[in-house]
Structure 1
Amino acid sequence: MYTEALNLDPTDKNTKSLWFLFCGNKLMVSLKEDKASIPVTEDISELQLELVRNQYIGKLGGIHCFCAEVNSEEDVPPQLKLLDLRQLMGLVDEEIFWMAGKAFQIMDWDRTFQFCGKCGSPTETIKNEHAKVCTSCKFINYPRISPAIIVAVVKDKQLLLARGKRFTAAIYSVLAGFAEPGETLEECVAREVMEEVGIKIKNISYFGSQPWPFPNSLMIAFTAEYESGEIKIDENELLDAGWFTAQNIPPRPSKISIASKLIDWFIENH
């Protein structure tokens, strides 16, 4: 996704703009058959919404983008429907989906940090920056981003896949986990694989990265090779894990995810 440089107070904002409008964690969209669209308007007052707060989040394809929220579902116009971000996958272009993810994270941060976590005083948004400053102690808070690793582990032309307990569908994916304070990303990769399936890995290599707004992750992807050990799953995290060839990959995550791109990489190369 490419967005133009951010200016939180654009001088030409009275033009046609995309509005990512939330009610809680759900986004307002227009639905037509198997496609969803984000409201576009020159004047948000046309939708007759009572906005709790709003933030400017940049440009997409030359069009200004804003995020905002309302208090209750009663405030949602009848022509718009509410979808969560996972339901939005496949219903909009990827560029729109990633901007919706950014909008969700900024909106959630704006809602969550109305008060200073250090002294409890009200905060106010800093001009031309996604940051909030405490009106009393001047502590500055930025939107939360949680780094997480995700890794494709290969052994003899087989890929390590696991089914997590939190998966609502019967899908298998590569292993992932959040980085902890004081460790490098490579250390995090090795630790997560050992903790979740009990094996050692080697030759850890960077693959790519992807924002993942569930709720505020930055996924950093790696590939690695099996070194030693037998699979022993962490039953608190996983239901199953195993080695799969390119010919017998089980149901897997959405194509939009970097997890699926890692699986595609394995299939193409093995």
Structure 2
Amino acid sequence: MQGTADGFDYGALTPLAAFLMACLGAALGLRCVVRTVHLEKGRKAAWLALGAASLGCGIWSMHFIAMMGFRAPDASITYDAPLTLLSLLVAIVVVSVGMFIVGYRGVAPMTLATAGIITGLGVAVMHYLGMAAMRLNGDIAYDNLTVTLSVLIAVAAATAALWAAVSIRGFLPALGASLVMGVAVTGMHYTGMAAVTVHVHSAAHAYGGESAASLVLPMLLGPAVFLLLAAVVVMFDPLLVAGDEREGSRRARAAF
């Protein structure tokens, strides 16, 4: 049996939850990078690392929340645990590379393009590595044109996010940038899923591995707790708030 897989088995629930998780990771990543602008350089690496880990966890969690709604006709889907964990590591590492490049080198066109390409390709690798972790009683095929489009979306989203991280100041502009990033990253995921076609061998055949419920849900708990802790650190950091206030005061004085 061959057919296009369904990514909306739970209707709008999984896309909405995935979008919110992507927005949370983007928001925390942006706020952490803003923190590096206002304080001494000695602590810049720690805040960039926290921002990169937050954004990477948000993107990875978005992917696997969305995958909870993935179904294929007459196919039993499980996941390979080592590959699933590797996809999380890839997400964090490549986002870290992009964050550190723009955090220390700024957003000159060539620097931003390099960081955006590296990060975007890493996000795409995370997505397709997560897909490679799937085990089902069939074969997965991809439409090359749609896959290419998903990679281009990932690069564009990563470039925009890195630019916003060091260029946008203030809570409301950063919130808007986080929402845009959430739309872009989630759009990349579902564009990639639109490229998928599944050929099922036999409905009776069972594949080894962990089911989505038994593997993905417990794995999501760790990144979710990390994002919660990162949010607490960012929200209750008084110097970050003071830095935003100083920026606002400078803009107000410049307007007059």
Q: Decide: shared fold, TM above 0.5.
A: no
Higher relative contact order (CA 8 A, sep 6+): 2
Relative to its length, the structure with more helix (as a share) is: 2
Question: Highest Rg: 1 or 2?
Answer: 1
TM-score by structure 1 length? 0.23
TM-score by structure 2 length? 0.24
Relative to its length, the structure with more strand (as a share) is: 1
